[in-house]
Amino acid sequence: MESRGLKCQLKDSIPVSELNPNAGSYGIHDTLRKGFSSVKSELLPSHPLELAEKNFQLNQDRMTFASLRNIQGLHAPLKLQMEYKAVKQIQRLPFLQSSHIALDTLRGADDSIGFEDILNDPAQYEVMGDPHVMVEYKLGVL
């Protein structure tokens, strides 16, 4: 009886790591790997259009998949989603910013110049992590 009661109590409890998604294995924010914590990232959107702008690419992909399904059948969006997933896995080393040129080509965004192409240059980042630590973390050694 006591073990059943304890099991119910453990099932209803929330682990500390679930309370803070940025927390490391000890429940503390991992500043080395995830950068400084920001209050701005935890705020709710201040305008209804802000959320729509953040999810613009996701909404555009959903509309593309829906129209492909209606026109060509179920296989077309599935094939495109598989290609997107395969292309997203191709990256440079963890300490180098990947350009995702293949993903842009699949989406048809390779011939347009946007805000992120000019003002999001990885060479101008203020913070550069230690390459050895970042590769070890990616491989699961650390």
Which pair of structure tokens corresponds to residue 37?
């914590």
CB 36 within 8 A of CB 21: no
The string of pLDDT tens digits covering residues 45-57 is 678 888 888 899 8
Q: Is the pLDDT of residue 17 over 50?
A: no
The string of pLDDT tens digits covering residues 65-124 is 999 999 999 999 999 999 999 999 988 877 777 888 899 999 888 898 887 777 766 666
Which pair of structure tokens corresponds to residue 11?
């099932």
User: Is pTM, for the whole model, over 0.75?
Assistant: no
Residues 15-24, mean pLDDT to the nearest whole number: 52
Q: How many residues does the chain have?
A: 142
Tell me how far apart the alpha carbons of residues 50 and 47 are, in angstroms, rounded to a whole number: 5
> Letter for the amino acid at 127?
V
